[in-house]
């Protein structure tokens, strides 16, 4: 049996993966405000993660900031969206359409993250067929 060795630098730790959507949400907000560059220090202040950790996290995606300038917001957003799969559409079905399920179905904001809820299923006869 052949074992494929992957360099450690290519394996993204789970905590890093969990932080990437935070970074994306912040840089998306910056882009909507026409901000061109952001430093890891500015991101750190906003989402309460050390600036060195942010730089390390983004290095897994081969994103490098420029000294004294920071990261290009539009490019950073594009790379994060692509890596997280938010630039592709994913269809989803909600099983259990109680209060939370109903809220998710009606939340049109999920489509900007590539999630399209196409149906909701429930066993409660009062909910079935509701719109």
Least confident of 25-29, 101-105, 109-113: 109-113
CATH assignment of the domain containing 32: 1.10.10.10
Residues 67 and 106 in one domain: no
Confidence of residue 25 (pLDDT cuts 50, 70, 90): very high
What range does the domain containing 101 cover?
90-121
pLDDT of residue 104: 85
| Model pTM above 0.75 | no
Domain contains 17: yes
Three-class secondary structure assignment of the chain: CCCCCCCHHHCCCHHHHHHHHHHHHHHHHHHHCCCCEECHHHHHHHHCCCHHHHHHHHHCCCCCCECCCEEEHHHHHHHHHHHHCCCCCEEEEEECCCHHHHHHHHCHHHHHHCEEEEEEECCCCCCCCCC
47-78 confidence digits (pLDDT tens):
999 999 999 999 999 888 888 899 999 999 99
Total domains in the fold of the chain: 2
Residues 98 and 67 in one domain: no
Domain contains 128: no
Residues 40 and 95 in one domain: no
Domain contains 129: no
């Amino acid at each position: 049996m052949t074992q494929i060795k992957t360099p450690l630098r290519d394996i993204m730790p789970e905590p890093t993966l969990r932080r990437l959507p935070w970074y994306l949400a912040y840089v998306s907000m910056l882009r909507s405000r026409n901000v061109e560059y952001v430093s890891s220090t500015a991101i750190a202040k906003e989402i309460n993660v050390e600036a060195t950790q942010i730089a390390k996290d983004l290095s897994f995606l081969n994103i490098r900031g420029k000294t004294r300038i920071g990261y290009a917001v539009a490019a950073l957003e594009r790379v994060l969206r692509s890596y997280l799969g938010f630039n592709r559409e994913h269809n989803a079905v909600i099983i259990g359409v109680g209060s939370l399920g109903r809220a998710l179905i009606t939340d049109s904001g999920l489509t900007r993250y590539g999630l399209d809820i196409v149906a909701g299923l429930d066993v409660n006869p009062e909910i079935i067929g509701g719109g």
